[in-house]
């Protein structure tokens, strides 16, 4: 799924999928924010493939406990689900609850058995690590999944530059990665990072429904990314 850049419309309501079709390559279904997420999946008949995310509370979401893996395991059995998001901290067993690792790795195995890609994700809601640490995080995440996702918080322009450099470096090394900065100083990375190799962008259909700080609305990000990438191709 991630051979080329994928723009994902993030939503907790799959009935919004028709509004995303014109701009989105995928829909990130935020199961942790959704009402009756498995019922929504069972009734989904949209055209856009889904990325299933059931974000843990310890990494910025609203899902608690290991039961969230059961929901994700059910989700990957749906034909419309093309990818599943699993936190790197769980896959690596570095979360305080050691039982997370066995659940996370079992989910990854289940996903791969049915041909569903794995997004191994890392989120830092406080800062942006040093450039060398960013490269290591992206490479580690890419090694655990089919694509490694890193979202950090930018407090200054230098943070945005560090994330873009790390994206370029890890992509050049052969890793499939997605990277972006949360927060206003790094907001532009959501549009610029694809030029440096980032494989996934996330945006709400409406600005009021943003699922992370600094997200552009879907149509805006589609236009920005396409304009920047068209310019790169024209060269």
Cβ count within 10 A of residue 130? 11
Nearest CA-CA partner of 165 in 140, 201, 124, 129? 129
Neighbouring-strand partners of residue 151? 123, 180
Is 103 noted as a catalytic residue in this protein? no
The single residue of 149, 175, 188, 199 carrying the catalytic annotation is 149
**With contact defined as beta carbons under 8 Å apart, do 11 and 27 qualify?**
yes
* CA-based R_g, the chain, Å: 16
Is 199 noted as a catalytic residue in this protein? no
The single residue of 95, 103, 123, 168 carrying the catalytic annotation is 123
CA geometry: angle 116, 168, 235, nearest 5 deg: 105
Q: Which residues are catalytic?
A: 123, 149
């Amino acid at each position: 799924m991630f051979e080329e850049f994928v723009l994902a419309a993030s939503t907790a309501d799959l009935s919004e999928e028709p509004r995303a079709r014109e701009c989105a390559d995928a829909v990130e279904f935020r199961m942790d924010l959704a009402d009756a997420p498995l019922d929504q999946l069972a009734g989904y008949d949209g055209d856009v493939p889904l990325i299933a995310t059931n974000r843990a509370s310890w990494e910025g979401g609203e899902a608690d406990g290991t039961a969230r893996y059961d929901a994700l395991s059910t989700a990957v059995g749906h034909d419309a689900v093309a990818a599943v998001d699993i936190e790197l901290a769980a896959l690596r067993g570095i979360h305080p609850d050691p039982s997370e690792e066995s659940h996370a790795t079992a989910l990854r195995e289940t996903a791969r058995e049915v041909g569903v890609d794995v997004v191994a994700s890392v989120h830092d809601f406080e800062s942006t690590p040093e450039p060398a640490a960013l490269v290591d995080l992206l490479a580690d995440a890419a090694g655990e999944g089919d694509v490694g996702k890193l979202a950090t918080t930018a407090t200054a322009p230098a943070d945005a530059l560090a994330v873009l450099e790390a994206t370029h470096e890890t992509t050049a090394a052969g890793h499939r990665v997605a990277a972006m900065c949360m927060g206003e100083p790094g907001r532009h990375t959501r549009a610029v990072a694809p030029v440096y190799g980032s494989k996934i962008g996330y945006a709400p259909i409406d600005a009021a429904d943003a699922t992370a700080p600094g997200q552009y609305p879907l149509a805006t990000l589609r236009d920005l990314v396409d304009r920047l990438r068209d310019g790169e191709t024209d060269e």
